[in-house]
Amino acid sequence: MQSAIAFIFFLAVSFVIAACGALFMPGAWYEQLAKPIWNPPAWIFGPVWTVLYISIGVSGWLVWRRTGWVLNAAFLVFAVQLVLNGAWSWLFFGLHNTGLAFVDIMLLWLAILATLLLFWREDWQAGALLLPYFAWVSFAAVLNGTLWRLNS
């Protein structure tokens, strides 16, 4: 029973961050930005992020199964990357600050990498579940930097 509660908890935390990000949608401002030809279509972001948030939650739960409710470096860094993840939409879409959003996403990239490595030490599957997230944020960081450069 406790494992099921923890599973729901980690998924809920992930989707609370998703909901925070969803408060700031692209809108007209984003539509008018100069974009590279390799900018993905808008419809792809929802499905990709849904899968990523599920994998983030499951990854946290897998580590919890090994460590329990112990506040350790892995969970501290996990929390930091969630906060940075949630802040990005506010910075980029809410404040329209592509430069500050780029700083955030670079810190997020580092925090995901640290989380991935720390989680991998606890449970390789937990670390592996973060690989698509790391890859997507790597791509998103390049896109964010390009949008910043093209529109500054």
Residue ranges in 23-97 assigned as alpha helix (H): 27-32, 45-67, 73-89
Per-residue pLDDT, 104: 98
What mean pLDDT is predicted for residues 127-134? 98
What is the C-alpha to C-alpha distance for residues 35 and 150, in angstroms, rounded to an integer?
7
Residue 50 sits in which domain range? 2-150
Global confidence as pTM:
0.94
CATH number at residue 68: 1.20.1260.100
42-100, pLDDT tens digit by residue? 899 999 999 999 999 999 999 999 998 888 999 999 999 999 999 999 999 999 999 99
Count of domains for the chain: 1
